[in-house]
Structure 1
Amino acid sequence: MSAQTLTEIPPSAPPDPAAVPRVVPRRRAGQWAAATVVLALLALALTSVVRNDAFQWGVVGEYFTTAAVLRGLGLTLWLTALVMALGFAFGTLLAVLRLSANPVLRAVSWGYVWLFRSMPVLVQLLFWFNIGALYPKILGVRTVDLFGPVTVALIGLTLHEAAYAAEVVRGGILSVERGQIEAAQALGLGRWRRWRRIVLPQAMRSIVPPAGNMLIGTLKGTSIVSVIAVQDLLYSVQLVYHRTYQVIPLLLVATLWYIVVTSLLGAGQYAIERHYARGTVR
């Protein structure tokens, strides 16, 4: 075909917008009706809670920021932070042992995880609280003097947390593709640099979500230490309502504080997840 023939072909006219069929989204009347019913039920429940004088919201506001409650909250936060730090440090060591080529180390790590995941945390706390029945003295000091309620809570919760943290860390490490490590080896990177620059940044994408859930679970789980007279948030409000007999409003005080703290932790978890998810398809 000659160039003259090509120039004689008229360009195609743009399509007429009026002639193009318009895509109309499908109407979902059932979903909107269900949403309306759910919102109506939530509004009724909220109205019932707010207007019910039995909740004694004035008492809730009176005790929400009292010194005793804030001291209990401080101990709860301190215990949660320390248990998570120690639990993940010990759990990381257990995860490394589980991934070791040494069968003895793998067996020891597996046995620890199996044992402490099989025991309820309350049983562990009661066991450590009564450890003096097995060992009345340790290094010449009475066991009851060494293992106070707070120490018992710290030991019991940390050992329990380490078993779950080990599996979280191990799962995160195994989520990294083997080819990434082999490529780092081919580039001549040392073992520590491979772990710091290649393995851990990728493993954190799998570690952070369950670790965040564990942190929130540990915060709420610390309330169980009230059974061994540790003056955490729950035990502090219990001391008050045993004196005033205002059980419901004091339990609401503890509940609201747990909601506030877990909401803040959830927001922090979301920010950390976004940080480690950069460059990935979400």
Structure 2
Amino acid sequence: MAPDSVPAPAPPEPIKAVPVRHPWRWVLIAVLAVLAAMFVHLLVTNDHFQWAFIVDNAFRPPIIDGLRGTILLTIFSMVIGVVLGVLIAMMRLSPNPVLRGVAWTYTWIFRAMPRLVLAVLFGNLGILWERLEFGLPFDTQIGRLFGIDDLRVRIFGLDARTFLSGFVAGLLALALSEAAYMAEIVRAGIQSVDPGQAEAAEALGMTRGQVLRRIVLPQAMRLIVPPTGNETIAMLKDTALVAYVPVTGELFFQLQAVGHRTFVVFPMLVAACGWYILLTSVLLVAQHYIERYFSRGYNRSQKARARLRDLGAETGGRVTTV
């Protein structure tokens, strides 16, 4: 048959695209809208919230001082907890069985104890000692062995109740508890890094500390930062527990004091919720940017691997990805 007599192919039929309908989605939106409207109506119309009273009392100087104390308590507790947690994580990963045992015992004890119990316990540690003194241990017993009844070797000392003030006791309780959780977070992040990279770095002559600082931790931070951000937010909220020590320079304590003094308790609890929501929102924004900073190389590598996979599919598998 001549080429001119070949019939032209029929044009493709138009695609009849039927949009996927989601009727229950609109039902859910309507239900949520009604619930939101009911909640707003409750906030506006219920006189027990006493918004004018909240505005008048939630920003007074004692409340601002308590806010400053809460922020400082959060920062110091997290700094101590992170530093101590990294050390404990290193001990957990150490080949030394003694260090591993000590680290495991620490995490076991402090993860088992509620922070409220720890805060109250540390607030009463002054019962055990009148003074905290540093010097030769067991000096009295050693002196008796040599016939010296009053052998006391002390470098310096301080009053236990003065040192273990409410703020210090609450700080120690929160920081030591946080260190146990941070140790597990750091340990999991370090173990997520391919051990072959550490072996290659050691083969190039790097010390164990250099390998940890330059190779392992920068990669582990991508997995360490998100749970650490969550722990920071949890720590901010757990600072309210030190009101039971008591720590007077703390936000929740000051808000409660206003409520008890004026016999208007509920509005001050609402004010506390507002303050914690505001502080948590600031931390969430900071966490977002920190996570994006430590994930920037990982996101690019993920996109590159996706492009290679697409190119491999287009070329019939002649391009491979690793």
The reply to whether TM is greater than 0.5 is yes
Whether 1:277 aligns to 2:295 is yes
Provide the C-alpha distance between the structure 1 equivalents of 2:209 and 2:90, rounded to a whole number of angstroms: 13
Distance 1:260 1:14 in 2: 65
Alignment of 1:82-121 (within 5 A): 82-121=76-115
| Equivalent-residue separation in structure 1 for 2:261 and 2:126 (angstroms) | 32
Tell me, in whole angstroms, the C-alpha distance in 2 between the residues paired with 1:157 and 1:52.
37
Q: CA deviation at 1:42?
A: 1.5
Deviation at 1:186, TM superposition (A): 4.6
Any residues of structure 2 matched to 1:18-29 within 5 Å, and which? 19-29=13-23
Q: In 2, Cα distance between the equivalents of 1:15 and 1:32?
A: 39
CA distance in 2, matches of 1:66, 1:205: 40
2:167 paired with 1:150:
yes
1:6-17 to 2 correspondences below 5 Å: none
Q: Does 1:180 align with 2:235?
A: no
Q: Which amino acid aligns with 2:262?
A: T
Q: Which moved more, 1:179-188 or 1:50-59?
A: 179-188
Aligned counterpart for 1:218 among listed residues 235, 246, 257: 235
Matched residue type, 1:84: M
Aligned counterpart in structure 2 of residue 263 of structure 1, from 281, 288, 293: 281
1:242 matched to which residue of 2?
Answer: 260
What is the CA distance between 1:15 and its match in structure 2?
5.9
Q: 1:192 to 1:20 in 2, by over 3 A?
A: farther
Q: Distance in 2 between matches of 1:111 and 1:34?
A: 49
- Write the deviation string for residues 18-68 of structure 1: whole angstroms up to 9, x where unpaired: x24143331111122112111211221122122211100111111222111
Percent identity (aligned)? 41
CA displacement at 1:183 relative to structure 2: 3.7
**What is the match of residue 195 of structure 1?**
212
Tell me the CA shift for residue 189 of structure 1. Answer: 4.2
TM superposition shift of 1:141: 3.5
**Does residue 59 of structure 2 align to residue 41 of structure 1?**
no
The question of whether the paired residues in 1 share the 8 Å contact of 2:58 and 2:255 is answered with: no
Offset, 1:228: 1.5
Question: Structure 2 regions of 5+ residues with no counterpart?
Answer: 134-156, 304-322
> Residues of 2 paired with 1:240 and 1:133: CA distance?
30
Cα root mean square deviation, aligned:
2.3
Deviation of the 1:188 alpha carbon: 4.5
Return the alpha-carbon distance in structure 2 between the equivalents of residues 189 and 131 of structure 1.
45
Query: Which structure: larger Rg?
Result: 2
1:208 aligns with 2:208: no
Shift of 1:90: 0.4
Give the TM-score normalised by structure 1. Answer: 0.90
> Aligned residues, how many?
274
Give secondary structure in 2 for the equivalent of 1:43.
Answer: helix
Q: Which residue identity is paired with 2:195?
A: R
Cα deviation, residue 164, structure 1 = 0.6
- Please state how far the C-alpha of 1:195 moved relative to its aligned partner: 2.2
Instruction: Classify the secondary structure of the residue corresponding to 1:24.
Output: coil
**Mean CA deviation greater in 91-100 or 233-242:** 233-242
Give the corresponding residue for 1:68.
Answer: 62
CA distance in 2, matches of 1:173, 1:145: 40
- Confirm or deny that 1:78 pairs with 2:72: yes
Matches of 1:137 and 1:125 in 2, distance apart?
20
Distance 1:141 1:185 in 2: 46
